[in-house]
Amino acid sequence: MNLYALLESGFPKDKSACAIETHDGLYYSWEDLEGATSKMANLLLALDLPQGSRVAVQVEKSPEALFLYLATLKAGLVYLPLNTAYQAAEMEYFVGNAEPAVVVCSPKNYSWVSQVAKKSGTKHVFTLGDDRSGTLLEKAVPHLSKGKTVKRSDDDLAAILYTSGTTGRSKGAMLSHANLGSNAKVLKKFWAWKKGDVLLHALPIFHVHGLFVASHGALLNGSKMIWLPRLDTKELIKHMPRSTIMMGVPTFYVRLLLDSSFTKNTVKNMRLFISGSAPLLTETFNSFKERTGYTILERYGMSETAMLTSNPYEGRRIGGSVGLPLPKTKVRVIKENGKLCGVNEIGNVEVKGPNIFQGYWRMPEKTKEEFTKDGWFKTGDVGRWGGETSGGKVPKEYLCIVGRSKDLIISGGYNVYPKEIESFIDDMPGVDESAVIGIPHPDFGEAVMAVVVAKSGHSLNADSMIANLKGKIANFKVPKLIVIVSELPRNAMGKVQKNILRETYCT
């Protein structure tokens, strides 16, 4: 079934009801949402693209950007969202790898993005601004505001999400209509979406969390969304009294707690706070409970799998645990020798279920490596069942994520792959070598740090290196700190010992 048809089955009968309210006071009814989605879908259909064609989108958050996602589904094409922070070199890689038939970018980026797109053979480049400007909407105007949803089977691709994955360069995780649809249905029930729910939406819509978990929930439940372009604590506090659900990365909760105007009164209408994408510190979990009386529900997932586990809606939510496997999803924790871990034993987390992706785009070998022979996906996360957190004893059915076997930094919910940053730093003049690690950060949870060795006879300046990197890679990947050293610690095999660097800089 086409995922759009599934989502549409949840839209309310009263089409004049509000589907989206924006921060600047605009109201979009369900009729507006369906009409704009159909117009854009009909525009895409008029391009007469072969099945499986990708629509790559790098635009600022707006209701129209969400309608473009829905239109791509409705037209049976494959949606490929891209972080707005990506710069030319990053876009060249994604567009070159995915070879989209359509690219949609912000009007302000048209000159360079269209160059990148043309280089990869993309014929159709549209623009879409966050103020309803751009050629996409202009070209969609003459099209009908009604139309059939293109039939798609369960295994047909709905979206490709680029992720650093467990190793190597960014890979496109291929998600089918059924992968996303099954997860949306499970979450609707598991989190007890109700009539009258209002979702406070301040996440970006180019990742699983904001695009699928949050938006799908509201759409499938026919619920209104209060649509904020980005995290702005004051705006969250302003709109929260009229909302019932919020989803955020841990930084959302850290920042809310720093604001003294965030009180019990702010949350008086809320029923559910959900956190994910990165570990929520038990300190934040406890302080939030103390301030508001609410227990944050933490859940765990990946781009390749959508949501895997969640603390319960009814029942005990435990700080430091990501909860129980979701219905239909199987989770196991495995020792290095392939045996199942017992309670409180640490091992690799592997998963199975209808939500697990179809593989990495054009990387069959990589895909094979990431699955076990008996079909379990290796998450690259390290966990245990039960045990103890600072909140007390954890029941044996609850999963705790204790680390990662993959060399990955998660900063404010964004993944950063150290190898990629190291290669940019190593290419800089005067640099001999570098090692990138994650260090604790009070706001982002983890922050990127680089330890760099200069070539002999050269001197390096950390500040100018940071400034230089800002022009080349997405800002969230740029190290917040660069330290210049005379050499990197190495083991007998000559491998850089990042554990020693972490011990040195993480305290």
Enumerate binding residues for ligand AMP (CB under 6 A). Answer: 163, 208, 276-279, 298, 300-303, 322, 379, 381, 401, 404, 410, 415
In this structure, what token pair is assigned to residue 375? 């079909």
Q: What are phi and psi of 476, to 5 degrees?
A: -70, -15
Between 97 and 163, CB nearer to ligand AMP = 163
Candidate residues 6, 78, 157, 203; the one interacting with ligand MCA per rule CB under 6 A: 203
By residue count, the chain amounts to: 507
Binding mask 403-432 for ligand MCA (x = CB under 6 A): --------xxxx------------------
270 binds, among ligand MCA, ligand AMP, none (CB under 5 to 8 A by kind): none
How many Cα atoms sit within 13 Å of 458 on the Cβ side? 15
Kindly tell me which of 30 and 285 has the beta carbon lying closer to ligand MCA. 285
Of 209 and 352, the one with the shorter C-beta distance to ligand MCA is 209
DSSP 3-state of 276: coil
- With beta carbons less than 8 A apart as the criterion, state whether 223 and 199 touch: yes
The residue among 148, 12, 13, 183 whose CA lies nearest residue 74 is: 148
Residue (of 32, 82, 30) closest to 55 by Cα position: 82
Nearer to ligand AMP, 3 or 173 (CB): 173
Q: Find the binder of ligand MCA among 204, 217, 279, 320 (CB under 6 A).
A: 204
Query: Within positions 281 to 310, which residues make up the interface with ligand MCA, using CB under 6 A?
Result: 301-303
Measured CA to CA, the distance from residue 390 to residue 282 in angstroms comes to: 7
Decide which of ligand AMP, ligand MCA, none touches 163; Cβ closer than 5 to 8 Å per partner kind.
Answer: ligand AMP
Nearest partner of 94 among 163, 44, 158, 159, judged by Cα:
163
Give me the residue whose beta carbon is nearest to ligand MCA: 412
Size of the site for ligand MCA (CB under 6 A): 22
* 72 vs 163, beta carbon nearer ligand AMP: 163
Binding partner of residue 21 among ligand AMP, ligand MCA, none, CB under 5 to 8 Å per kind? none
Which 238-277 residues touch ligand MCA, going by CB under 6 A? Answer: 249, 251, 276-277
CA-CA distance, 485 to 495, in Å (whole number)? 17
- Min dist CB 30 to ligand MCA, Å, is 25
Contact in structure between 448 and 479 (CB atoms under 8 Å): yes
* Residue whose CB is less far from ligand AMP, 150 or 296: 296
- Of 374, 375, 373, 401, give the one whose Cα is nearest residue 387: 401
Q: How far apart are CA 423 and CA 428, in angstroms?
A: 9
The candidate with the shortest Cα–Cα distance to 308, out of 351, 372, 347, 272, is: 351
Residue 245 contact, options ligand MCA, ligand AMP, none, Cβ 5-8 Å cut-off depending on partner type: none
**317 vs 323: CA distance, rounded Å:** 7
| Residue 378 structure tokens | 């290796």
Report the partner that residue 322 touches, choosing among ligand MCA, ligand AMP, none (CB closer than 5 to 8 A by kind).
Answer: ligand AMP
Cβ atoms 437, 498 nearer than 8 A: yes
CA-closest candidate to residue 5, choices 76, 88, 100: 76
Q: What does the per-residue mask of binding to ligand MCA show for 206-235, with x meaning CB under 6 A?
A: -xxxx-------------------xx----
- Determine the 3-state secondary structure of 254 from DSSP: helix
- The site partner of 76 among ligand MCA, ligand AMP, none (C-beta below 5 to 8 Å per kind) is none
DSSP E strands, 90-169: 102-105, 124-127, 157-163
Query: What's the angle, vertex CA 327, arms to CA 321 and CA 333, rounded to 5?
Result: 50
* Amino acid, res. 70: L
Q: Report the candidate in 88, 149, 152 with the shortest Cα–Cα distance to residue 120.
A: 88
- Rounded distance between C-alpha atoms, residue 442 and residue 83, angstroms: 23
Residue 91 or 136: the one with the smaller Cβ distance to ligand MCA is 91
In the list ligand AMP, ligand MCA, none, the entry touching 298 (Cβ below 5 to 8 angstroms by class) is ligand AMP
Residue with Cβ nearer ligand AMP (71 or 278):
278
Q: Is 77 in the site for ligand MCA (CB under 6 A)?
A: no
62 binds, among ligand MCA, ligand AMP, none (CB under 5 to 8 A by kind): none
Q: Using the minimum distance from each CB to ligand AMP, give the nearer residue, 262 or 300.
A: 300
CB of 304 to ligand MCA, least distance (A): 8
Which one, 186 or 302, has the nearer CB to ligand AMP? 302
Supply the minimum distance, in Å, between the C-beta of residue 409 and ligand MCA.
Answer: 9
Closest CA to 177 of 145, 150, 202: 150
- Interface with ligand MCA (CB under 6 A): 203-204, 207-210, 230-231, 249, 251, 276-277, 301-303, 411-414, 444, 475-476
